[in-house]
Amino acid sequence: MTDRIALINIRFQGRHGVLEVERAQPQPFEVDVELSLDLAPAGISDELRRTVDYRAAFAIVRETIEGPSRQLIESLAETIATRLLSDFSAAGVAEVVVRVRKPNVDLPGPLDAASVEIRRRPEPRA
């Protein structure tokens, strides 16, 4: 599948991290989401119902990042991917890619961010 909807550098504040100090105050998180699906029906018809409403995808990211604390950004990415696949299965989403970045990481040297990227496909139906 070569068609994709991408939401790049979504930014919200969250309280996630292994250390208590990381969960004490909100800190920035950045998320990229890519949804692979056939966009031809929407492109031809110009109808929102034939694609993924990216406002809904944005809301899933917001709920996850602003929601309950998690220790790992891996858990944030997995939660977002699972919700996207579940909520948009009827739209024919074949794959999601989720990148989560944590810019304010306390490490003993300079870096732009800690980041994870996951790629998930729907579970095969029995």
Catalytic residue set: 102
CB atoms within 10 A of CB 66: 13
Q: Are 53 and 99 in contact (CB under 8 A)?
A: no
- Find, among 59, 55, 47, 52, the residue nearest to 4 by Cα: 52
CB atoms within 10 A of CB 82: 15
Using CB atoms within 10 A of its CB, is residue 27 exposed (0-12), middle (13-18) or buried (19+)?
Answer: middle
Structure tokens at 5: 């909807």
